[in-house]
Amino acid sequence: MARFALALIACGLVAVVAATPADNEFLTKQNEIVKLLNKVHELNFYQDQVTISKDYDPLAHLDSYKNVRVVKELVKELKNGRLLHRGEIFNLFNAEHRREMILLFETLFFANDWDTFHKTACWARDRINEGQFIYALSVATLHRPDTRGIRLPPAYETYPHLFVTSQVIHEAYAAKMRQEPAVIHMNFTGTVRNPEQRIAYFGEDVGINSHHSVFHMDWPFWWNEEKYGVTKDRKGELFWYMHHQLITRFNAERLSNDLNEVEALHWEKPIVEGFYPQTTYRKGGEFPARPDNFQFQDLKDIRIADLEAYEERIREAISSGIAISALNNEIISLNSTDGINILGAIIEASSNSVNPNYYGSLHNLAHIMLGRVVDPLGKFGMPPGVMEHFETATRDPAFFRLHKHIDNLIKEHKDSLLPYTHEELDVDGVEVKNVEVDDLETYFEEFDIDMLNALDDAAGLPDVDIKARVQRLNHKPFGVKIIADSAAEKTVTVRLFLAPKYDWFGREVQLDVQRWKFIELDKFAVKLHAGENAIVRKSSESSVTIPDPLSTRALRKLVDDAIAGSASLEVDKDYRHCGVPDRLLLPKGKENGMKYTLFVMLSDFEEDKVNDLPHDYAYGGSVSYCGTINHKYPDKKPMGFPLDRKITNVDDFKVTNMYFRDVEIKFNPIH
């Protein structure tokens, strides 16, 4: 189909982005954060930060912090040598490591002003473990009102070891020793003898890895809403939905590569796919490898029986439709739309769990079990596995199996709810007449990762330009045009989903099965006028994706130029680091074309509306899977609506404000 002229027929679709040019105060903050996260494995080296670190004493400025006790405790533990040392591996799933990191986070978060925050960060950078420092500083920067809109450097540049293979690191060192610039080609793990390697480009995509790791910084499972005064709206539900979407996306990728969909793991059955990460910690050795068909093992402190017991109780809650709260054994119904939020928090478990003692922490414990599976008793002193870091977890096929298991539990809950009624689906007077889509074409491209931060510095050995070159999936930009009639002027929410039309066996998938496989492509609100409307939306505007972040070098240059007045840095207070990379919006498809179902639904925005903001407010751009930090989740409907509940009668389900059509995705191998 010919590409249609977007500009001529667009239906008032320029989203409201709250961006303004950065002033000097913001540019200074932006500059300081980038400096703090540059070469964090080394001590402060920018002279101003060195001086602050040397001279600053948090105890001499206690009146500059909201929570004095935390500051005193952090300093006391540091003086007593009780904190994780620099160079050691920080593992967020380790309760002690986490407790120490939270002390630092709270010290930073509760600093009364930017000046105190900045000085504390310079001070901590020389004294606290760098993994704890990166994580605490990042989460504090994302959540402090005075650092809203600051851009963090890409995670794969701050800590490249978690994103590239050992071979790349070795070659990068060799190039630096030779003082020769280099571009090192990175292969995906495994060989052609391992079918899983066919979709390694997805699980090992640096953009997916950083989306996942930042999601868990935006929505930390340890977040204390009361203490921090920041509510995490629908966090339990979002935990499910973001991971559900990762699985549907992964499965669509598998089908594109002639692999069957991922199966859930079970505590008693072998973990079919082994995994050899071919990745090394900066210090502490290689990430442990797992052979095929390995069984779960009891750890010193977590037993398989614990997981089974927690899961039994969770299943009991799902089938009975009630959870038991720790607060006076109060009964909480799960049969409302909020049930998923309660259940998500219980399963993760986050600090929002209504009863962590009773329901445990199924998901977090499973991450630890999988991470330590090959050295369960610590006999060989192996470092944590890839499943114990959000940056590396999606590399392991077991990640998707674990989350599929959890997704199945949630599906049991969703299937227990009543299907949506005609009234809940129908929008009076609105009809979608047609949906046109540009050609959908995917291809692989090359991308370079700056290895500057991966390598140690030594006197007389200056930095040289060393890059890791990876293959990554991309697609041609495309547009969707929706022709809709409306009886009157009305603002609607437009929901766009995509799912494979056929399963692995080549059978057409029935809607009630297919509904759980739909990838949310976009969601936005638009004003219809009475009569016929043409709604045009570009792929780059999608509410699930973010564009490529600026590299550290480009970010520093932009800030320098903006300070010098020769460029302008736009500040969006809702700026998001979480989000699927723009280029991964579409699954790969096949060379000869692969059929998908495109589903479009318009719903009544006045019923969906949550925040008192313009209907086209952009929320930083990736709100669908990542929510928003500064506002409530801007859609009252359950995430995944209307495909999250059973469709028992397709005729009842299909209303005029919906539209289904086939589309085809072609992979171009010679781009």
d(CA 567, CA 554): 12
Residue 539's nearest CA partner among 524, 521, 527, 526 is: 521
Which C-beta is closer to ligand CUO: that of 245 or that of 442? 245
User: In the complex, which residue's CB is closest to ligand CUO?
Assistant: 393
Residue 162's nearest CA partner among 181, 183, 140, 134 is: 134
Determine contact, residues 444/472, Cβ cutoff 8 Å: yes
Enumerate the β-bridge partners of residue 523.
495
Tell me if residue 348 is catalytic: yes
For the bound state, the minimum distance from the C-beta of residue 367 to ligand CUO, rounded and expressed in Å, comes to 6
For the bound state, the minimum distance from the C-beta of residue 243 to ligand CUO, rounded and expressed in Å, comes to 6
DSSP string across 652-664? HH--TTEEEEEEE
For the bound state, the minimum distance from the C-beta of residue 171 to ligand CUO, rounded and expressed in Å, comes to 30
DSSP state of 389: S
- Phi and psi, residue 658, nearest 5°: -120, 160
Q: Find out whether the peptide bond into 642 is cis, omega within 30 degrees of 0.
A: yes
For the bound state, the minimum distance from the C-beta of residue 193 to ligand CUO, rounded and expressed in Å, comes to 28
Which C-beta is closer to ligand CUO: that of 363 or that of 576? 363
Binding characters for ligand CUO, 153-192, by CB under 6 A (x = yes): ----------------------------------------
From 97, 143, 212, 405, residue interacting with ligand CUO (rule: CB under 6 A): 212
For the bound state, the minimum distance from the C-beta of residue 239 to ligand CUO, rounded and expressed in Å, comes to 7
DSSP string across 512-570? HHHGGGPEEEEEEEEEEPSEEEEEEEEGGG-TTEEPPPPPHHHHHHHHHHHHHTSS--E
Catalytic residue among 100, 204, 311, 348: 348
Residue 342's identity, in one-letter code, is: I
Show contacts with ligand CUO in window 401-460 (CB under 6 A).
403
Which C-beta is closer to ligand CUO: that of 264 or that of 322? 264
In 380-526, which ranges are continuous DSSP H helix? 397-415, 422-425, 511-514
For the bound state, the minimum distance from the C-beta of residue 372 to ligand CUO, rounded and expressed in Å, comes to 15
Which C-beta is closer to ligand CUO: that of 142 or that of 150? 142
- Phi and psi, residue 603, nearest 5°: -125, 170
The residue count for binding ligand CUO (CB under 6 A) is 8
From 393, 425, 430, 455, residue interacting with ligand CUO (rule: CB under 6 A): 393
Which C-beta is closer to ligand CUO: that of 254 or that of 367? 367
Enumerate the β-bridge partners of residue 461.
458
Which C-beta is closer to ligand CUO: that of 452 or that of 519? 519
d(CA 458, CA 396): 34
d(CA 533, CA 647): 29
Which C-beta is closer to ligand CUO: that of 41 or that of 244? 244
Determine contact, residues 575/177, Cβ cutoff 8 Å: no
Show contacts with ligand CUO in window 331-390 (CB under 6 A).
363, 367, 390
615 binding ligand CUO? (CB under 6 A): no
For the bound state, the minimum distance from the C-beta of residue 245 to ligand CUO, rounded and expressed in Å, comes to 12
Kindly list the catalytic residues. 348
Contact residues for ligand CUO, defined by CB under 6 A: 212, 216, 243, 363, 367, 390, 393, 403
